[in-house]
């Protein structure tokens, strides 16, 4: 009879899932009625992998436990703080006296160096969570990684996948270079299908034989840009078998060119003044966006230009009523807060906006935005 039921549930996985849920619910109901308890007694909650070869890609350890209680134990799921760590576990209810396991899997590839990672196991044992930890040391075991070529795209190994241009004076066009080598056994080509505009990219040479090196150069045009600039440019690596498209990320902080100002120009420069540097909106309804105004005044001798207004969070945005404020005049910056975009687990908002202007003394003015949501 059991074999027959098993064969039928295999043919109908949806029915099998329903049966498992019904059995679990019945066991939990029985435990609640009898006032019984369950335990999850592990042989150990920490494991040291020691030295791991990066080329091994993944390693795993099975944590075994026993339910020494008198009621069924149910694992609801696991939570990891890193995408490099995952877990598999006993999905069925574990009866009293029975055993189960949680298998922790760590991805070594792309994560060289020492690590300590945790997995939280959620179950019906008060207080509801058990912490398992693993540690180890991932060793780069091939010559390309040892030489710094740690990122791979379709056989091409790169020294970096992020380019930091750092502080850039407005109007400058800095360039940065990433070295790469063909770590595969076939020729590859390197192209940038959307090169141009803010960032131009090129590889020299644009094709590499196995073992051949190439230089990837990104040049950033800061004309018309202000403040923090982030983006990405697509890179295509083609071979005889396939073409893979990835993204090289870049970041820059564009500053006004104040260094060339004469003493007279500095004396006649604009000067920003704001009505407040901290907006406390009090208690608000999460799903009802609201606005607050900040008065921006120009106490200098020439026109104040608002270059850009940045926000530290998608929950907060700000717009200026005027991009230019004459000497002795004032204007408004309207701050909009949308609590609905805030993570549901958060009640408190503590963010900022940054007003970037051509005031040589205070080119960046920060205003703190705080609120709590019901």
| Residue 136 pLDDT greater than 50, yes or no | yes
The pLDDT, as a whole number, for residue 110 is 77
Q: What is the residue extent of each domain of the chain?
A: 1-33, 36-139, 144-255, 268-373
In the CATH scheme, what architecture does the domain 268-373 have?
Answer: Sandwich (2.60)
The pLDDT, as a whole number, for residue 16 is 47
> Per-residue confidence at 148, pLDDT binned at 50, 70, 90?
confident
Tell me the CA distances in angstroms from 75 to 97, 133, 334, one per residue in order. Answer: 16, 17, 49
pTM: 0.60
Q: Three-state SS string across the chain, please?
A: CHHHHHHHHHHCHHHHHHHHHHHHHHHHHHHHHHCCCCCCEECCCEEEEEEEEHHHCEEEEEEEEECCCCCCECEEEEEECCCCEEEEECCCCECCCCEEEEEEEEECCCCCEEEEEEEEEEECCCCCEEEEEEEEEEECCCHHHHCCCCEEECCEEECCCEEEEEEEECCCCCEEEEEEEECCCCCEEEECCCCECCEEEEEECCEECCCCEEEEEEEECCCCCCEEEEEEEEEEEECCCCEEEEEEEEEEEEECCCCCCCHHHHHCCCCEEECCCEEEEEEECCCCCEEEEEEEEECCCCCEEEEEEEECCCCEEEEECCCEECCCCEEEEEEEECHHHCCCCCCEEEEEEEEEECCCCCCEEEEEEEEEEC
The pLDDT, as a whole number, for residue 55 is 63
The whole-angstrom separation of Cα 243 and Cα 224 is: 35
Determine if residue 77 is left, alpha or beta; phi over 0 gives left, psi from -120 to 50 gives alpha, anything else beta: left
Do residues 373 and 283 lie in contact, with contact meaning Cβ atoms separated by under 8 Å?
A: yes
If you average pLDDT over residues 206-232, what whole number do you get?
Answer: 93
Do residues 218 and 233 lie in contact, with contact meaning Cβ atoms separated by under 8 Å?
A: yes
Q: Comparing 244 with 15, which gets the higher pLDDT?
A: 244
Average pLDDT, the chain: 87
The pLDDT, as a whole number, for residue 126 is 80
Q: Comparing 230 with 35, which gets the higher pLDDT?
A: 230
If you average pLDDT over residues 262-266, what whole number do you get?
Answer: 95
Token pair 């379709």: residue: 154
The pLDDT, as a whole number, for residue 336 is 96
| Residue 8 pLDDT greater than 60, yes or no | no
If you average pLDDT over residues 84-104, what whole number do you get?
Answer: 94
pLDDT in tens, 265-303: 999 999 999 999 999 999 999 999 999 999 999 999 999
> Per-residue confidence at 141, pLDDT binned at 50, 70, 90?
low
The pLDDT, as a whole number, for residue 53 is 66
Q: Is the fold of 36-139 the same as that of 144-255?
A: yes
CA torsion angle for 339, 342, 345, 348 (degrees, to 10)?
A: -60
Tell me the CA distances in angstroms from 355 to 2, 28, 62, 359, one per residue in order. Answer: 71, 57, 53, 11
| Residue 28 pLDDT greater than 90, yes or no | no
Multiple choice CATH, 144-255, 3.30.470.20, 1.25.60.10, 2.60.40.10, 2.60.40.1180: 2.60.40.10
| Residue 10 pLDDT greater than 50, yes or no | no
Q: What angle do CA 111, 112, 113 make, to 5 degrees?
A: 120
The pLDDT, as a whole number, for residue 199 is 94
What values do phi and psi take at 15, rounded to 5?
Answer: -65, -40
Output the six-digit token pair for 249.
Answer: 């990320």
- The answer for residues whose C-beta is within 8 angstroms of residue 257's C-beta and 6 or more apart is 169, 170, 171
If you average pLDDT over residues 114-121, what whole number do you get?
Answer: 92
The pLDDT, as a whole number, for residue 362 is 96
The pLDDT, as a whole number, for residue 96 is 94
> Per-residue confidence at 15, pLDDT binned at 50, 70, 90?
low
The whole-angstrom separation of Cα 341 and Cα 287 is: 9
If you average pLDDT over residues 62-74, what whole number do you get?
Answer: 94
The whole-angstrom separation of Cα 374 and Cα 372 is: 7
244 alpha-carbon distance from chain centroid: 22
Do residues 200 and 219 lie in contact, with contact meaning Cβ atoms separated by under 8 Å?
A: yes
The whole-angstrom separation of Cα 82 and Cα 204 is: 36
How much of the chain, in percent, has pLDDT values that exceed 70?
Answer: 88
Output the six-digit token pair for 276.
Answer: 């407040």
How much of the chain, in percent, has pLDDT values that exceed 90?
Answer: 69
The whole-angstrom separation of Cα 103 and Cα 75 is: 13
Q: What angle do CA 178, 183, 184 make, to 5 degrees?
A: 135
pLDDT in tens, 332-374: 999 999 999 988 888 899 999 999 999 999 999 999 999 999 8
CATH H-level superfamily of 36-139: Immunoglobulins (2.60.40.10)
The pLDDT, as a whole number, for residue 228 is 93
Lowest mean pLDDT among 1-10, 53-62, 166-175: 1-10
């Amino acid at each position: 009879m059991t074999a027959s039921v098993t064969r039928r549930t295999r043919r109908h996985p949806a029915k099998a899932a329903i049966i498992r849920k019904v059995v679990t619910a019945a066991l939990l109901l029985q435990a609640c009625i009898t006032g019984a308890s369950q335990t999850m007694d592990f042989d150990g909650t920490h494991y040291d992998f020691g030295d791991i070869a990066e080329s091994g890609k993944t390693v795993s350890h099975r944590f075994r436990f026993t339910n020494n209680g008198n009621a069924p134990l149910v694992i609801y799921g696991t939570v990891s703080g890193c995408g490099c760590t995952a877990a598999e576990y006993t999905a069925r209810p574990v009866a009293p006296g029975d055993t189960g396991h949680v298998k922790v899997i760590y991805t070594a590839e792309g994560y060289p160096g020492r690590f300590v990672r945790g997995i939280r196991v959620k179950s019906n044992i008060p207080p509801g969570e058990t912490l398992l930890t693993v540690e180890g040391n991932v060793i780069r075991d091939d010559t390309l990684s040892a030489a710094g070529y740690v990122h791979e795209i379709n056989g091409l190994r790169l020294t970096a996948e992020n380019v930091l241009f750092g502080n850039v004076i407005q109007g400058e066009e800095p360039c940065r270079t990433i070295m790469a080598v063909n770590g595969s056994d076939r020729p590859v080509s390197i192209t940038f299908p959307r090169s141009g505009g803010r960032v131009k990219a090129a590889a020299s040479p644009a094709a590499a034989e196995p073992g051949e090196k190439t230089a990837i150069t990104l040049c950033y045009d800061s004309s018309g840009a202000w403040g923090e600039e982030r983006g990405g440019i697509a890179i295509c690596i083609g071979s005889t078998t396939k073409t893979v498209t990835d993204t090289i990320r870049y970041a820059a902080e564009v500053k006004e060119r104040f260094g060339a100002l004469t003493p007279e120009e500095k004396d006649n420069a604009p000067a920003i003044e704001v009505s407040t540097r901290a907006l406390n909106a009090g208690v608000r309804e999460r799903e009802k966006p609201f606005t607050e105004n900040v008065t921006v005044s120009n106490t200098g001798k020439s026109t104040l230009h608002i270059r850009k207004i940045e926000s530290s969070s998608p929950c907060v945005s700000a717009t200026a009523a005027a991009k230019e404020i004459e000497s002795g005049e004032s204007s408004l910056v309207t701050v909009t807060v949308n609590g609905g975009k805030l993570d549901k687990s958060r009640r408190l908002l503590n963010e900022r906006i940054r007003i970037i202007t051509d005031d040589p003394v205070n080119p960046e003015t920060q205003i703190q935005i705080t609120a709590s949501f019901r």
